[in-house]
Amino acid sequence: MDDAIRVAVVQGDRRRGAVAQALALVAEDVRAVVGRCGTAAVAPTLDELGREWASTHRDALSATVDALAAAGAETIDVAASKADAKPSARACFERLGYVAETHGRPVAYHDLDAVPDAWIERELGGEKARVSSLFAGCGCRVSLGVARTHGVFRLGLGLPGLAAVVHRDDLRFEEDALARRIPAPLAPACSVLETWRGRIVRSWLKVRSIGGGMRPTGAERRRLDRARGAVERLTALAAAVAPRISVIDGFGGMQGQGPRLGTPLKLGTVIAGTDPVAVDAVAAAIMGFDPLDVAYLRRAQAAGLGVADLAGITILGEPWSQVRRRCRRHGADRLLRLVSAGTDPDQARPPHFPRRRSRRSRV
């Protein structure tokens, strides 16, 4: 593995300071990226329901803008699309305080859904999809991710966050169509119910996998097929518009039934670097996951998009093992592990309940 892959890990009490410190630790790498083009395109994470705690925080954006400007960026474009039409990306920019926070700095905001000609067509995993031409055409692409669990990829970090630069009608990675139809006012109550449902599902899958294997049901096989297809499309998306700089904010994240009905997660940690796969891998380890057991990270490394093996990553700042915290996983997480393992559901072992011997056999 390449020892030059460096990822900064900073734990602190203040988000802005932690982001600034993390980017300062990899400042040389950031300057090398920004210096080639003099401009930057930033893709923030905008929660579908517009919740501040589940979106890129204004302090994280502000500290990143400062670091990019210090590295030589003369203009910075912040661009995003949203799966939900309401609130719009433009409304989120205002509501989350982005516009006010960066007032007076060379930052322009782009609601991709409001610009008909903002897209360029790409083939992603055998499907045509419209990708932001502004983001795809920039040599310094920046992803501002949030530490989240996910019902398709197990984790929704920087690379899954690239869905923000894809047209809402073309490519979305949703694990549950029913969750998409839940109105925003009902989301808090539904999140509580979904948390308990997730616990029941996790317990049931754990029982079924006693002994090392289980045979998925028909519905579970279909879910696995959708997850495999989503991983393929995400890998193709990352190959087309891979971030050159990636920042994961763990000050306000999501655990459990993410990315829509999860509950708040506070790690107090920021991860940053110029290898987006390595940044996601370190964030995964901090959240209690084996990076090579996460399908999209394993696939991205195999495709040559970055390093997911922790042995090949140099950590700057805090050792990831000292800030590690096992977050509450998605209810279907044990099932989704079959995607990363490459397990064929038809070859998986059945549930391991001991078969009772008949009286005749005991004689």
Q: How many CB atoms lie within 10 A of CB 353?
A: 10
| pLDDT 10s digits, 93-130 | 999 999 999 999 999 999 999 988 999 999 887 888 99
Phi, psi (degrees; rounded to nearest 5) at 50: 75, 15
pLDDT bracket for residue 88 (50, 70, 90): very high
Reduced to 3 states (helix: H, G, I; strand: E, B; else coil), residue 306 is: coil
Of 53 and 202, which is predicted with more confidence? 53
Of 36 and 359, which is predicted with more confidence? 36
- The C-alpha atoms of residue 220 and residue 214 are separated, in whole angstroms, by 11
pLDDT bracket for residue 190 (50, 70, 90): low
Residue 258 is predicted with a pLDDT of 87
pLDDT bracket for residue 202 (50, 70, 90): confident
Mean pLDDT in residue range 184-213:
70
Q: Is the peptide bond before 87 cis (omega within 30 degrees of 0)?
A: yes
Confidence check: pLDDT of 77 > 70 = yes
Residue 90 is predicted with a pLDDT of 96
| pLDDT 10s digits, 140-150 | 999 999 999 99
Q: Which amino acid is at 121?
A: E
Residue 354 is predicted with a pLDDT of 37
Residue 350 is predicted with a pLDDT of 38
Confidence check: pLDDT of 137 > 60 = yes
Look at phi and psi of residue 216 and say left if phi exceeds 0, alpha if psi is from -120 to 50, else beta.
beta
Residue 351 is predicted with a pLDDT of 37
Residue 188 is predicted with a pLDDT of 67
Least confident of 64-73, 98-107, 212-221: 212-221
Contact at 8 Å (CB) between 164 and 44?
yes
Confidence check: pLDDT of 347 > 60 = no
pLDDT bracket for residue 209 (50, 70, 90): confident
Closest alpha carbon to 332 in 267, 232, 258, 260: 258
Closest alpha carbon to 214 in 306, 112, 334: 334
The alpha carbon dihedral of 158, 161, 164, 169 has a sign of positive
| pLDDT 10s digits, 253-299 | 999 998 888 999 999 999 999 999 999 999 999 999 999 999 999 99
| pLDDT 10s digits, 22-63 | 999 999 999 999 988 899 999 999 998 888 999 999 999 999
